[in-house]
């Protein structure tokens, strides 16, 4: 029963976030009978979270990514709509003590911990000191106030290389750098501080001895204002790229019941010591000998919370709302039960074949597998802007065993349709299928150790997709020269086709052998392919005697395909002019590789530069990308300034070729 003295009831919740995060919170809030309010930037005016909320307020900013950081605008939006509670989601202001305090000062219930708890545990240096005072095992390092480069270099040498540089604020892997030897410390320190300053407004860092190839294990906790605290087991988040999580699962394949109990007890003790309230996660590194070390605490709900929900049967957002209203936790530690195994993958708008470069644009066709739990804010035809994190969806599978969950997720991922721009879909599937991951042996070094295998192209599959593309271009093109033709084979001449498949030029010769049946010759090799029927955006084809389904979407000269779990984009060049020259920068032009914001201009007009020298740094989807000079010479034009929003392929600078080596 709720104590009237500690009760903080509310009826209308403003969700201070966007996208799938906001939609996830709204779903549980609506189920409990609450009204919901969305806030949005100018770039998100047509977003799903705006459309599905009961009310919505624009808090736009000239820089859309900054809109969700405008504390005063969010508080004013709550006043304007009559909201009496605020849920911060995760990311943006979720771990910002100033925001939590501003909500409290405005008489709003903040659905999260107190500002004091956020300060205590949300700051890596402070949290580590609290843990050390509580005799929780911590990684040796430096978390002092002296942030001078010389002092930090001295402390790194004392700690011993390899050493990890970590921003004290924020999360998501930003502001983190692994330094393997002293010679690269200064450069990587400057890079980490710059990224931390841009991402969190705070360049402060801590240093820790790097534990190589550990498991990344986190403990989910919940606490209420009545002194109760429990843990909900662990999640294994070891599969990471650049310190950002890619795959998460619960429970961990390497954590025993005894180790779970010990780690959980440490986590509960820590949050009770500071009077914590709400959801939180303590993150640990687990070494090969089974020793665990505290890393940090996230004073919020985690992106990967669905896997915990899957194995416990609990709604963690609903628990947050009940605790924020002053209710005691509805269960004790002994009531927590774990059922089966759950795995989640993060679908990101990025190109794995180009160094995982962030992508943005129109999601032409989105049809996720109905066999999975899917958390997203996508829809066919929706724009994915370049201003935010690259994650666009989460796909989760639950099974009685780990391997059952893995198989279900792998099939569901391959069956999901995401066409319009490049994603890491195939990369994720290869991770799930890799024998090391299948055996439960993936550490934080997994992607780095196996990246070549995970990125290796399937040549046979690509050839089959090329044949299918040739068929569909002929059958769905604007002229469709061969469609419904009843001419006899003896009078049919081969038809030449030129197109690009995933950027690779293709020349094919098609000869019609009957209605919707063709012989296709590629590089001297023949294939038999037939179109058996089309229903909506699905085609049944017969390729070299095997009948299969292909999902396709034709938009002008562009044909999108989803074939055997792989997306393909086809550009019909049969009647197109030759491609423009200089697209690779051989003309001395430095072009934006993506939509993004200019965060640094590193040269001036008239400067002499060498090939490969950094010219401009762009920020897209919370990551920085350095653009370098394609040739040696003189900077004859600078067409970008700091804070400019630039479109992909825009010329940022021009280098007049010279004789520099």
3-class secondary structure, 498: strand
Where does residue 305 fall: left (phi above 0), alpha (psi -120 to 50 degrees), or beta otherwise? alpha
Using DSSP, state whether 63 is helix, strand or coil. Answer: coil
Q: Report H helices in 375-458.
A: 402-415, 425-433, 435-438, 446-455
Q: CA torsion, points 220, 223, 227, 230, in degrees to nearest 10?
A: -30
Side-chain-side CA neighbours of residue 201 (13 Å): 5
Residue 280's nearest CA partner among 288, 289, 272 is 272
Q: Kindly calculate the radius of gyration of the chain based on its CA atoms and give it in whole angstroms.
A: 27
Cβ partners under 8 Å of residue 367, min gap 6: 380, 416, 417, 551
Instruction: Determine which one of 18, 177, 300, 597 is catalytic.
Output: 300
Active-site annotation holds for 300 = yes
Residues 165, 169, 174, 176, Cα dihedral to 10°:
10
Torsion, Cα of 77, 83, 89, 94 (10° steps): 70
- Token readout for 156 is 């790194």
Contact 97, 115 (CB under 8 A): yes
Could you tell me which residues come within 8 angstroms of residue 437 by beta carbon, excluding any fewer than 6 positions away? 239, 247, 406, 431, 446
Look up tokens 């762009």; give the residue. Answer: 618
Does the bond joining 251 to the residue before it have cis omega, within 30 degrees of 0? yes
Q: How far apart are CA 237 and CA 251, in angstroms?
A: 10
User: Which residue reads 């919740």 in tokens?
Assistant: 13
Q: Encoding tokens for residue 161? A: 């290389």
Nearest to 469 by CA among 434, 523, 510, 419: 510
Which stretches within 239-394 are classed as H helix? Answer: 257-273, 305-312, 316-324
Bridge partners, 164 (sequence order): 178, 208
Comparing C-alpha atoms, which of 350, 332, 433, 414 is closest to residue 388? 350
β pairing state of 85-87 and 12-15: parallel
Those residues whose C-beta lies under 8 Å from the C-beta of residue 270, and which sit 6 or more positions away, are: 121, 130, 131, 134, 136, 282, 297
Side-chain-facing half-sphere of 442: CA atoms under 13 Å: 29
Contact of 594 with 616, CB cutoff 8 Å? no
DSSP state of 356: T
> Could you tell me if 443 and 238 are in contact, meaning their C-beta atoms sit under 8 angstroms apart?
yes
Write the CB contacts of 433 (distance below 8 Å, at least 6 apart in sequence).
410
Report d(CA 39, CA 387) in Å as an integer: 16
On the 0-12 / 13-18 / 19+ scale of CB atoms within 10 A, 259 is middle
What positions carry a catalytic annotation?
A: 300
């Amino acid at each position: 029963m709720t104590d009237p003295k500690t009760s903080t009831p509310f009826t209308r919740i403003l969700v201070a976030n966007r996208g799938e995060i906001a939609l996830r919170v709204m779903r549980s809030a609506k189920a409990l009978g609450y009204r919901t309010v969305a806030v949005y930037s100018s770039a998100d005016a047509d977003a799903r979270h705006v459309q599905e909320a009961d009310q919505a307020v624009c808090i736009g900013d000239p820089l859309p990514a900054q809109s969700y950081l405008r504390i005063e605008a969010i508080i004013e939006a709550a006043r304007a709509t009559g909201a009496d509670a605020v849920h911060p989601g995760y990311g943006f202001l979720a771990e910002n003590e100033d925001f939590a305090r501003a909500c409290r000062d405005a008489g709003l219930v903040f659905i999260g911990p107190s500002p004091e708890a956020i300060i205590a545990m949300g700051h890596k240096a402070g949290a580590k000191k609290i843990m050390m005072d509580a005799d929780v095992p911590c990684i040796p390092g430096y978390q002092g106030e002296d942030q001078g480069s010389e002092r930090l270099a001295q402390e790194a040498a004392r700690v011993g290389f390899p050493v990890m540089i970590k921003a004290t604020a924020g999360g998501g892997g930003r502001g983190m750098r692994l330094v393997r030897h002293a010679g690269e410390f200064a450069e990587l320190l400057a890079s980490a501080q710059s990224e931390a300053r841009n991402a969190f407004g705070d360049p402060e860092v801590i240093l820790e001895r790097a534990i190589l190839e550990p498991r990344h294990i986190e403990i989910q906790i919940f606490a209420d204002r009545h002194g109760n605290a429990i843990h909900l087991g662990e999640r294994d988040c070891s599969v990471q790229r650049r310190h950002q999580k890619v795959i998460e699962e619960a429970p961990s394949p390497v954590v025993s019941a005894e180790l779970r109990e010990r780690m959980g007890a440490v986590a509960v003790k820590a949050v009770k010591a500071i009077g914590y309230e709400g959801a939180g996660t303590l993150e640990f590194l687990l070494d090969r000998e089974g020793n665990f070390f505290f890393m940090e605490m996230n004073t919020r709900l985690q992106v990967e919370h669905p896997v915990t929900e899957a194995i416990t049967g609990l709604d963690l957002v609903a628990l947050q709302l009940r605790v924020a209203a002053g209710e005691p936790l509805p269960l004790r530690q002994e009531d927590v039960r774990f059922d089966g195994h759950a795995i989640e993958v993060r679908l990101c708008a990025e190109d794995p074949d180009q160094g995982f470069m962030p992508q943005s644009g129109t999601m032409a066709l989105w049809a996720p597998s109905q066999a999975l739990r899917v958390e997203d804010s996508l829809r066919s035809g929706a724009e994915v802007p370049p201003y935010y994190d690259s994650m666009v969806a989460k796909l989760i599978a639950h099974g009685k065993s780990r391997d059952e969950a893995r198989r279900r997720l792998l099939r569901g991922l391959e069956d999901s349709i995401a066409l319009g721009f490049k994603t890491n879909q195939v990369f994720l599937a290869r991770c799930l299928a890799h024998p090391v991951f299948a055996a439960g042996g993936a550490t934080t070094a997994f992607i780095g150790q196996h990246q070549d295998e995970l990125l290796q192209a399937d040549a046979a599959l690509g050839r089959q997709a090329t044949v299918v593309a040739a068929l569909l271009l002929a059958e769905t093109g604007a002229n469709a020269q061969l469609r419904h033709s009843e001419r006899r084979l003896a009078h049919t001449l081969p038809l030449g086709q030129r197109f690009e498949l995933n950027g690779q030029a293709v020349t094919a010769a098609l000869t019609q052998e009957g209605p919707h049946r063709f012989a296709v010759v590629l590089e001297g090799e023949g294939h038999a392919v037939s179109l058996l029927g089309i229903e909506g955006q699905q085609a049944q084809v017969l390729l070299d005697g095997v009948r299969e389904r292909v999902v396709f979407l034709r938009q002008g000269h562009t044909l999108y395909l989803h074939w055997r779990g792989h997306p393909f984009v086809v550009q019909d060049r049969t009647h197109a002019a030759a491609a423009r020259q200089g697209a690779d920068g051989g003309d001395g032009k430095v072009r934006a590789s993506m939509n993004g914001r200019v965060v640094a201009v590193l040269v001036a007009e008239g400067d002499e530069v060498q090939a490969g020298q950094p010219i401009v740094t762009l920020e897209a989807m919370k990551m920085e990308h350095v653009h370098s000079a394609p040739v040696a010479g003189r900077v004859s034009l600078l067409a970008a300034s700091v804070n400019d929003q630039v479109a992909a392929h825009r010329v940022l600078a021009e280098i007049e070729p010279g004789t520099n080596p």
